[in-house]
Structure 1
Amino acid sequence: MDFALSEEQEMLRKSARDFLSAECPKSLVREIEAGDLGYSPEVWKKMAGLGWMGLVLPEEYGGADFSLLDLAVLFEEFGRAAAPGPMFSTIAMGALPILEFGTEDQKKALLPKVATGELILTMAMAEPEVNEDPKFVTIRAVPQEGGFVITGTKLFVPYAHIADYMLVVARTEGALGDDEGIAVFTVDAKSPGINLTPLLTIAADKQFEVVFDRVSVSSSDILGSLHKGLPQVRATLRKAAALQCAVMVGGAQQELEMTAEHTKTRIQFERPLGAFQAVQHRLADMFIDVNGARWTTYQAVWRLSEGLPADREVAIAKAFTNIACQRVAAGAQQLHGGLGVDKDYDLHFYFRRAKAFELSLGSTPFHLKTLEAEIGF
């Protein structure tokens, strides 16, 4: 079995790595984390110029018509660089569901502007009592005057303060937990009645509590089918979880490389740390974890890219990557010693992000429960 990337994917990976190394150094990451915006508009424009926002969009919408697997290669490099910004929310949580479920009018209105970097998108799904299963959302969209009025609270909405549109998951009818009665609305993020409160996160990314106070939307803002949006939300979260695994793998790979280099140059007892067998064993375990996470991730993304059933593979990828990346992060910290927790050193960027990613788009218990159902236990 050939696990190698194609020539085009290798070129994409190299160009992305070179660009992010030059344009998104850790000095810039520190500035972005300390600031309010959460990204660099200058770097964003340059990325749009490279065609990254439109990478998987069809040519008719200004995209390059690449595959989901190609997008995973790109996102792995974002994880390696610990690059902050709304790229993931705009593509994985915004453009992809619009492309898959939107009307032709919605696609023509939004996707070309996404491809050029003019629009930033995000999704509002999680709530105070709901983080993983969208059928339990409580926020309501009530019919009124040919449209709907949305009222309720969403949590952990990424980059809501700079988003142009939010994809809001709301209940339109039925009772809490019903499979029917869910819809996704494309909401102008600057609509009257939307109030934002920033949330502190371990990854220092920009996430918000979003309160919708009788926010009006039209029937044409519905993404997909009214009352039947649950499968669409789950399909979106499935792809996003697989792509986030690629981001996590990129971060874990960088932790491994930083740790291997440190153990070559750090001298203890008159020889490098890496000369000790116990250290070598720990590095070997980290190597196994990184590559195990990579191949389970790429298997899941490939099946999604090919339109094949992938519930089991995504559950395996996210559950294993969650666990593997925590082990890699812990191993990197242990082998670095006190240097690993020094914020002037770069390792903490990856440690913090690994914990944040572990808890988003499905925790390990959630995906293990999905796997249990898939294999019939």
Structure 2
Amino acid sequence: MDFTPTREQRAAAGLAAEIFGDRSTPERLTALGTDTDTALWATLCRAGLPGSVTETGLLGLVLLLEEAGRTTAQIPLAATGAYGVLAVAAHGAPEQRERLLPGLTDGTAVATGAFGTGEPPAVRARAGVGPAAHLTGTVPVVPWLTCADLVLVPDADRELWLLRTDAPGVAVTPVATTAPWSAGRLDLTEAPAERLGGAPQPVGPVPYASVLACARTAHAGLQAGVCAGALARAVAHTAERQQFGRPLDAHQAVLLRAADAHLDTEAIRVTAYEAAWRRDTGRGAAPHALTAAWWAAEAGTRVVHAVQHLHGGLGADLGHPVHRHFLWGRQLAADLGAGAQLLEELGESIIEEEAS
């Protein structure tokens, strides 16, 4: 097992880190509020980074998201990468790949997924002609929906449908989430959609499970970056802040709390890397994606709480940059399944594997 990033993956991550460090500053994030940073997204796309995922794979996306998480960059990279580029590349019909991938890779189209907390939403599909259908139902919260052009929607039977947000019968209502993302409520009334992959899939839920595992791994990579960025702020703060004539980081309790947060962050990172590497190399990655997601949910929550605690009263300041990491960490800990749900799914998968 060797999931050391390739030279191309490291180069893409290095370029992303440079762009995010220059453009995704606390002052700019404060000015954005809950808006998507369209200028940063355009810069990222001109650099070819979203499109590079077709070559660097899920591990390449995880590395990019880790850098995005360090600065809590408000761009739809995780959504477009997991639900758009990688989903269409892996499961789309040849015609769909030819038609959709250019826009998704050059940034002229933004994609997201209506996967809720990891359970299929209450969406019904009425069969149309060929691979077409009409969807009816509601998904209460879809991340980055208000800036998306394309939504990947699973129905109650776990079939995946591609839906344009400007199609008739599609209503998008902005909603507030814990993190300042441009999320929305998706209401569908006989909305026209096309099946991902074209013809009916003979195996049923396999594409659904694959895309969900990919998205959970991507979110874990993003959470690793959020935690790493938060911890870096805590290290800088405790080195500078004086208490009783000594820096905070001279106190053993502070050092131990920070060390625990570092180990949790590394656990999120390494499990995300392994799940992504296994997916890219064609190995079984389903339980590993659940493991990475569980660490992102449970350990991610511990890290952002610890970092806020280490900042003392500043951690409760809504305008302080570390509070944004706290909000992102809490949001990512709940998206696509909370810790208890993920652990239950992991246990069930292990039992099923042993039984077979």
- What do the CA deviations read for 1:73-98 (whole angstroms, capped 9, x no partner)? 11100111100122211111122111
CA distance in 2, matches of 1:3, 1:234: 22
Over the residues paired in the alignment, what is the CA RMSD in angstroms?
2.0
CA distance in 2, matches of 1:167, 1:303: 23
Matched, 1:140 2:124: yes
Match of 1:230 in 2: 205
CA distance in 2, matches of 1:229, 1:122: 21
CA positional deviation for 1:371:
2.0
Change (3 A) 1:207 1:5: same
Match of 2:308 in 1: 333
Q: Which amino acid aligns with 1:49?
A: R
Change (3 A) 1:299 1:193: same
CA distance in 1, matches of 2:47, 2:76: 16
Q: Which amino acid aligns with 2:14?
A: K
Match of 1:23 in 2: 23
CA distance in 1, matches of 2:196, 2:292: 28
SS for the counterpart of 2:51 is: coil
CA distance in 2, matches of 1:169, 1:51: 29
SS for the counterpart of 1:84 is: coil
Q: How does 1:1-377 map to 2 (within 5 A)?
A: 5-34=5-34, 38-57=35-54, 65-126=55-116, 131-134=117-120, 137-144=121-128, 147-171=132-156, 181-217=157-193, 221-224=194-197, 225-226=199-200, 229-376=204-351
Q: Is the CA contact 2:111–2:151 (under 8 Å) kept in the aligned structure 1?
A: yes
SS for the counterpart of 2:159 is: strand
CA distance in 1, matches of 2:349, 2:125: 32
CA positional deviation for 1:182:
3.7
CA positional deviation for 1:99:
0.9
CA distance in 1, matches of 2:3, 2:168: 50
SS for the counterpart of 2:337 is: coil
Q: Which amino acid aligns with 1:334?
A: H
80-89 or 182-191, larger mean C-alpha shift: 182-191
CA distance in 1, matches of 2:42, 2:264: 35
CA distance in 2, matches of 1:277, 1:337: 16
CA distance in 1, matches of 2:295, 2:128: 45
CA distance in 2, matches of 1:94, 1:194: 19
Q: Is the CA contact 1:132–1:366 (under 8 Å) kept in the aligned structure 2?
A: no
Q: Is the CA contact 1:155–1:209 (under 8 Å) kept in the aligned structure 2?
A: yes
CA distance in 2, matches of 1:32, 1:354: 19
TM-score by length of 2: 0.92
Q: Which amino acid aligns with 1:22?
A: D
Q: Which amino acid aligns with 1:54?
A: G
CA distance in 1, matches of 2:280, 2:76: 22
CA distance in 1, matches of 2:72, 2:170: 30
CA distance in 2, matches of 1:371, 1:331: 27
CA distance in 2, matches of 1:212, 1:67: 32
The structure showing larger relative contact order (alpha-carbon pairs under 8 Å, at least 6 residues apart) is 2
CA positional deviation for 1:5:
4.3
CA distance in 2, matches of 1:145, 1:301: 36
- What do the CA deviations read for 1:9-38 (whole angstroms, capped 9, x no partner)? 43333221111111221222222224xxx3
Change (3 A) 1:257 1:210: same
Q: Is the CA contact 2:65–2:77 (under 8 Å) kept in the aligned structure 1?
A: no
- What do the CA deviations read for 1:95-152 (whole angstroms, capped 9, x no partner)? 21111111111111110111111111112233xxxx3222xx4311113466432211
Q: Is the CA contact 2:238–2:247 (under 8 Å) kept in the aligned structure 1?
A: yes
Change (3 A) 1:267 1:115: same
Q: Is the CA contact 2:36–2:181 (under 8 Å) kept in the aligned structure 1?
A: no
* Structure 1 runs not aligned, ≥5 long: 58-64, 172-180
Identity in percent: 29
Q: Is the CA contact 1:125–1:155 (under 8 Å) kept in the aligned structure 2?
A: no
TM-score by length of 1: 0.87
SS for the counterpart of 1:113 is: helix
Change (3 A) 1:268 1:4: farther
SS for the counterpart of 1:192 is: coil
CA distance in 1, matches of 2:64, 2:87: 19
